[in-house]
């Protein structure tokens, strides 16, 4: 079933209206902004989608809404974080009905879960659905994760799990790619701090927040071209973005506060209504966001000038 998934798959923010309901118009503006920037796919229900503040009905509604907004124009990935095996199966099937091409399974948040149990959990879900399956391995933000040996064993037992959202140290991801003989198509996370290291290690793309979508798409496309000049330009873009990515990656609450506002400026979304509890923006933080918006615009202008040469 697996397609040639690769590139930049931004994880959408959840925009709410003044009545604390999901805002269809703002979500539509975000989707169109990402597609206009050249996103290779779209993802929902990551940490920046504020899944920890939604009930299951809201999550299902958002999956259906975004599937409708994409309308099959690019591949669609849905993160599944239900706490039990049956819940993950049913949610994955619902995502498929809403147009998802693949699901990203999160481990159950039960500290002390053994690798053997985790492999059985992921394997049972993967065998019950008929779309492509990835697992999310995030030893930084999640309580449960697999070792490199566990990832290799998971793929050995369940070859249909051949996508990975790997958010550990790029050195460890490189080892996972090497030791699994390239069995996993690996997407990185953490905003793209180590994106070029991931690509050099054999990764195929990035699943970031959409704050930097336009320059990161350009970076990926340049890297794919393979020429020395294009890859040098990709390195330059990455260096320019790093201070802003580091700022946004300091914490999830900070990203939800400032990253969402940075994206809103770019996508023409007039108002950001935070779902409480939420970090309150400061004047200093907003001034930094304004500076990052200018930096992104300048990076895009320089990339366009490079392409025109």
SS3 48: helix
The pLDDT of residue 169 is above 80: yes
Residues near 15 by beta carbon (within 8 Å), at least 6 away in sequence: 22, 23, 26, 27, 30, 260, 264, 269, 272, 273
Q: In the prediction, which pLDDT does 65 show?
A: 98
Q: Which residue has the higher pLDDT, 279 or 309?
A: 279
Outline where the chain has alpha helix (H). 24-36, 56-70, 85-97, 115-128, 148-157, 170-179, 195-201, 213-225, 228-248, 252-254, 260-267, 283-308
Mutual angle of helices 213-225 and 283-308, in 10-degree steps: 30
Q: How confident is the model at residue 36 (pLDDT cuts 50, 70, 90)?
A: very high
Element (H, E) at 164: strand 161-166
Q: How confident is the model at residue 182 (pLDDT cuts 50, 70, 90)?
A: confident
Q: In the prediction, which pLDDT does 141 show?
A: 67
Domains, the chain = 7-308 (3.20.20.70)
Mean pLDDT of the 272-298 span: 95
Tell me the per-residue pLDDT of 62-71, one tens digit each, with 9 for 90 and over. Answer: 999 999 999 9
Q: What angle do CA 68, 70, 75 make, to 5 degrees?
A: 120
CA distance 74 to 179: 31
Closest C-alpha among 5, 6, 4, 8 to residue 238: 8
For 34-38, 43-47, 114-118, which range has the lowest pLDDT when averaged over its residues? 114-118
Cβ 257 vs Cβ 278: under 8 Å? yes
Q: How confident is the model at residue 2 (pLDDT cuts 50, 70, 90)?
A: low
Mean pLDDT of the 247-251 span: 92
pTM assigned to the model? 0.94
Q: In the prediction, which pLDDT does 254 show?
A: 95
Written as six digits, the tokens of 235 are 């390195």
Written as six digits, the tokens of 259 are 């990253």
Tell me the per-residue pLDDT of 195-229, one tens digit each, with 9 for 90 and over. Answer: 999 999 999 999 999 999 999 999 999 999 999 99
Written as six digits, the tokens of 246 are 């580091």
Q: How confident is the model at residue 86 (pLDDT cuts 50, 70, 90)?
A: very high
User: Which phi and psi angles does 60 have, rounded to 5°?
Assistant: -65, -40
Q: Which residue has the higher pLDDT, 159 or 143?
A: 159
- Distance between terminal CA atoms of the chain? 40
């Amino acid at each position: 079933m697996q397609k040639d998934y690769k590139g930049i798959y931004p994880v959408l923010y959840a925009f709410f209206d003044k009545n604390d309901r999901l805002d269809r118009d703002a979500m539509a503006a975000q989707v169109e902004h990402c597609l206009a920037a050249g996103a290779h796919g779209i993802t929902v229900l990551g940490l920046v989608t504020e899944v920890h503040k939604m009930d299951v009905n809201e999550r299902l509604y958002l999956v259906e809404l975004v599937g409708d907004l994409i309308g099959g124009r690019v591949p669609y990935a849905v993160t599944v974080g239900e706490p039990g095996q049956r819940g993950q199966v049913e949610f994955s099937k619902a995502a498929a009905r809403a147009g998802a091409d693949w699901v990203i399974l999160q481990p159950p948040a039960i500290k002390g879960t053994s690798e053997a149990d985790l492999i059985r959990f992921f394997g049972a879900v993967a065998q019950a659905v008929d779309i492509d399956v990835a697992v999310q391995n995030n030893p930084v933000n999640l309580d449960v994760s697999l070792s490199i040996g566990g990832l290799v064993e998971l793929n050995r037992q369940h070859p249909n799990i051949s996508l990975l959202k790997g958010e550990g140290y790029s050195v460890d991801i490189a080892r996972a790619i090497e030791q699994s003989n390239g069995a996993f198509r690996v997407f990185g996370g953490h905003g793209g701090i180590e994106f070029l290291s991931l690509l050099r290690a054999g990764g195929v793309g990035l699943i970031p927040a959409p704050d930097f979508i336009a320059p990161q798409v350009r970076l990926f496309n340049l890297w794919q071209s393979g020429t020395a000049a294009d890859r040098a330009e990709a390195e330059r873009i990455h260096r320019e973005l790093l201070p802003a990515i580091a700022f946004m990656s300091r914490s999830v609450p900070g990203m939800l506060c400032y990253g969402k506002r940075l994206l809103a400026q770019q996508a023409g979304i007039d108002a950001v209504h935070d779902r409480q509890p939420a970090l309150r923006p400061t004047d200093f933080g907003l001034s930094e966001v304004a500076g990052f918006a200018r930096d992104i615009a300048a990076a895009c202008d320089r990339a366009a000038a490079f392409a025109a040469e």
